[in-house]
Amino acid sequence: MLFVVPPLAGHVNPTVAVAAELTARGHQVAWTGPAAALPPLLPTGSPLYAAGDRDAAGGQELGGARWRDLRGIAALRFLWAEALIPLARAMLPGVHAAVEAFRPDVLVTDQQALAGPVVARRHGLPWATSATTSAEIVRPFDDFPKVGEWVSQRIAALLAECGAPGGWDPRFSPHLVLIFSTPALIGDDGPEEGAATHAQDGGPGGVAGRYPPHYAFVGPAFGARPAGGDFPWRRLDPGRARVLVSLGTLNRAAGARFYPAVLRAADALADRAQLILAAPGDLAGDIPPHMLHQEYVPQLQLLPHLDAVLCHGGHNTVCEALAYGLPLVVAPVRDDQPIVARQVAEAGAGVRVRFGRARADELHQALSAVLDDPAHRRAARRIQASFAAAGGAATAADRLEKLRPGPRPGPSAPGTAPTDNEKGP
């Protein structure tokens, strides 16, 4: 199986766990995506086929200065027009070459790696969507229909540019959609209007009701992570509640105004809570002795020692915290994060606060609420139980094994020729 991924840690991490499970079952796996960024995110020695050169595509780097200052619809437009669509153009030749060289039976393609489905269709291969964020599953544009229409137009233009037929959405596989969450968190309102709904056999991970059978809710999939460096474990205070504060990998540099509010809230909670701040040293400010600060922390190893998490609403961080039954305070920054924050609040597993105009008293009240109100912890543990029942990487592997293998492509293999309406990348 060939995993098609963007150069984003939160999108790669679940595929590492699923790939490890598939490898243990005797399957061959490989990845394709931007080769300069992916090796640190993959296990050492992982087969990787280069695909994607942002400079050649004219795209912008997520995390750059221009992107960092955007919020709301402006950030969403930037994501699609300046990052995802150019990335798709850049990745197309490399993904095509990877398919011909590796000759996979199935592609597992990230929802934001649009080149994968285009190449899969061209080769007649079945493909599964890897939905590493649940935002696209819950009709994210209901409140902004013009934005949703604009995104659909950008995708349709990309398909036309590639010579691919229209009338389908590369964000949603008609064969299998792996969702690394559960309805206990995201709700049961069903897929976005217009999403592919061709059914396959249900089985583990399938959900009866409004979601079609080929939507497999597998919960978080945890795999090996790069070493997080040293951590001062002995400085964790057993006499106080412990709270991790993290804005993730891409958004950490946007916290210049947020971190000072965190420090003031930490002062107000110092007698009862120890905040552990993961942030750049030049933005964190003067850390008081009652706190811990480290630029990067071994998050998965740290979570079992915590009582709550304050974060930006990144899907991976939220699901990892809930997998340990931890309530959250969520300060969404951009993109899918407001949707994830709303899911947390509506599920009762935490409190949403403002990021752009964060106030110390607001953070203090929110942290006190998730630490003191047992309802938040009960909701978090309910979601934790749903994650455990979903099966994670093992269920994802089960569903992938049920996909009917496609033709074995190669430089001269049958099935590599384009269809009448489709040209090669």
- pLDDT per residue as tens digits for the range 261-290: 999 999 999 999 999 999 988 888 899 999
Q: What is the pLDDT of residue 369?
A: 97
> What are the distances in angstroms from CA 126 to CA 116, 119, 296, 403?
11, 10, 38, 7
d(CA 336, CA 11): 13
- Where is pLDDT greater, at 72 or 356? 356
Strands 48-50, 292-294: pairing is unpaired
- Model confidence at 80, pLDDT cuts 50, 70, 90, reads confident
Question: Minimum mean pLDDT among 124-138, 335-349, 351-365, 398-412: which range?
Answer: 398-412
Question: Minimum mean pLDDT among 181-185, 203-207, 324-328: which range?
Answer: 203-207
d(CA 385, CA 322): 9
pTM of the shown model: 0.85
d(CA 99, CA 91): 12
Torsion-angle region of residue 213: left (phi > 0), alpha (psi -120 to 50) or beta?
alpha
Is residue 417's pLDDT more than 50?
no
End-to-end CA distance of the chain: 21
Q: What is the pLDDT of residue 281?
A: 85
Token couple for 338: 């407001």
